[in-house]
Amino acid sequence: WLLSQSICILGELSKIAMPVLFNEPLSFLQRLTEYMEHMYLIHQANTSTDSIQRMKCVAAFAVSAVASQWERTGKPFNPLLGETYELIREDLGFRWVSEQVSHHPPVSAFHAEGLKDDFLFHGSIYPKLKFWGKSVEAEPRGIITLELPKHNEAYTWTNPTCCVHNIIVGQLWIEQYGNVEVINHKTGERCALTFKSCGIFGKELHKVEGYILDKSKKKICAIYGKWTECLYTVDPATFDLHKKADKKPAEEKKGSKQSSVDEEPEEMPPPEAETVQVIPGSELVWRISPRPDNSAQYYAFSTFAMQLNELEEDMKESLPTTDCRLRPDIRALENGDIDSASAEKKRLEEKQRVARKNRSKSSEDWKTRWFNQGANPHNGGQDWLYCGGYWSRNYSQLPDIY
Ligand SMILES: *[C@@H]1O[C@H](CO)[C@@H](O)[C@H](O)[C@H]1NC(C)=O
Ligand SMILES: *[C@@H]1O[C@H](CO)[C@@H](O)[C@H](O)[C@H]1NC(C)=O
Ligand SMILES: *[C@@H]1O[C@H](CO)[C@@H](O)[C@H](O)[C@H]1NC(C)=O
């Protein structure tokens, strides 16, 4: 109880030193790159000639971006201030750079570009953690932007809330809920999606549904599926008829988690045999790629996630010293050396504390290296924007954080 109270007061878990055993061997910066796993949807958006077709792809991309969270109950390492991560995937057609730009509150900024100049994808994420006794809720504040320069279009959205249940007792399970609105700033079209909370009988678990609306808010197309599985589009009239025919599910009882002081674990909904019920006339826009057979032994990683710590000889010379792949505690955990991972994690956190203390005594402020704070050019919200130059690999003035 004391622990949960102090977390409530502090408002975030990052102030409590968590044992390394709860971690997966990835930094939160690396975990963010998993947005890119279903990259083909962006290429598809670019090659579509119709803006509604493009919106379908972009909305599917926004949903697929959180699919990798499914069953991922390991906590990523908190990035150190100044930590960076880059990823070049020529096979998928993009390169990515990210930096931890603020420690309190923790903010991660990223910028990706298509290798054929077909898109820009950037954003800043500020996961606001709330502790509800038996669960932790991460509300991912921050703006995500996708630009398609060939169409002179920009889309923005914010991720849904992610909740990890049973952090103290019982089996951990993950839920995502909330509204996500993808806006096409050029045409005024939007896709209003609802990630459903599971409800008392688990009937709504993982479900996502919503509509693509034109500028005058007329429904052009319905979109439905599960973020863990697949997404379909269908004519909105057909969708509404189908929903009416489908019995109204029991009243959702949200908010029950707020008062969870009793000892019962929050029951995990039964594994649904039933997959997404396909409405006749629907079109599939996205389906998740299966996880590898050994995923369960490796933190429920996807194939994409398993490659994120790869460090080849030639990369050692080109990476900046701040890259996550060179971070000793993550590397030790990746190698299965728990003791050393734990000791290194403590050492790095202490080093970060001392450096912050030093700065507070002197007049010098922390300077971010690759991103500057600024207004999002499309919706005016507070954001962090890439200042360029990373790929020329001039690493003067890098902080010593490891
Ligand atoms: C992006 O779309 C434009 C126009 O639809 C097309 O000319 C271009 O080849 C596309 N780029 C890629 C990489 O597919
Ligand atoms: C903090 O300052 C002390 C004294 O100036 C210095 O020896 C130490 O290296 C600094 N540590 C960090 C992490 O900046
Ligand atoms: C690298 O960047 C620094 C400033 O950040 C600049 O002074 C220096 O000239 C640059 N070096 C090269 C080779 O461009």
pLDDT confidence bin for 269, thresholds 50/70/90: low
**Could you tell me if 118 and 240 are in contact, meaning their C-beta atoms sit under 8 angstroms apart?**
no
CATH topology of domain 18-326+362-392: Porin (2.40.160)
Domain residues of the chain, as ranges?
A: 18-326+362-392
| Residue 356, ligand 2, Cβ within 6 A | no
Q: Give the Å distance between the CA of 359 and the centre of ligand 2.
A: 9
pLDDT confidence bin for 263, thresholds 50/70/90: low
Q: Which of 394, 395, 398 to mutate to test the pocket of ligand 3 (most atoms within 8 A of CB)?
A: 394
SS (H, E, C) 189-212: CEEEEEECCCCCCCCCCCEEEEEE
So what's the pLDDT on residue 9? 42
Total Cβ atoms within 10 A of residue 360: 10
Closest C-alpha residue for ligand 3 atom 11: 394
**Could you tell me if 112 and 333 are in contact, meaning their C-beta atoms sit under 8 angstroms apart?**
no
So what's the pLDDT on residue 196? 86
pLDDT digits 0-9 by tens, 50-102: 999 999 999 999 999 888 888 887 889 999 999 999 999 999 999 999 999 99
pLDDT confidence bin for 264, thresholds 50/70/90: low
Least confident of 123-127, 281-285, 375-379: 123-127
Q: Among 145, 142, 124, which Cα is nearest to 61's?
A: 145
Cα(357)–Cα(349) distance, rounded to whole angstroms? 12
* pLDDT top residue among 243 and 388: 388
So what's the pLDDT on residue 22? 81
**Could you tell me if 186 and 152 are in contact, meaning their C-beta atoms sit under 8 angstroms apart?**
yes
Q: pTM of the prediction?
A: 0.87
Highest mean pLDDT among 42-46, 103-107, 160-164, 252-256: 42-46
Q: Give the Å distance between the CA of 329 and the centre of ligand 2.
A: 21
Q: Give the Å distance between the CA of 369 and the centre of ligand 3.
A: 13
Phi, psi of 142 (to 5 degrees): 120, 160
Q: Which of 392, 396, 397 to mutate to test the pocket of ligand 3 (most atoms within 8 A of CB)?
A: 396
Q: DSSP letter string over 157-197?
A: E-PPEEEEE-SSSS--EEEEEEEEEEEETTT--EEEEEEPP
So what's the pLDDT on residue 250? 47
So what's the pLDDT on residue 5? 42
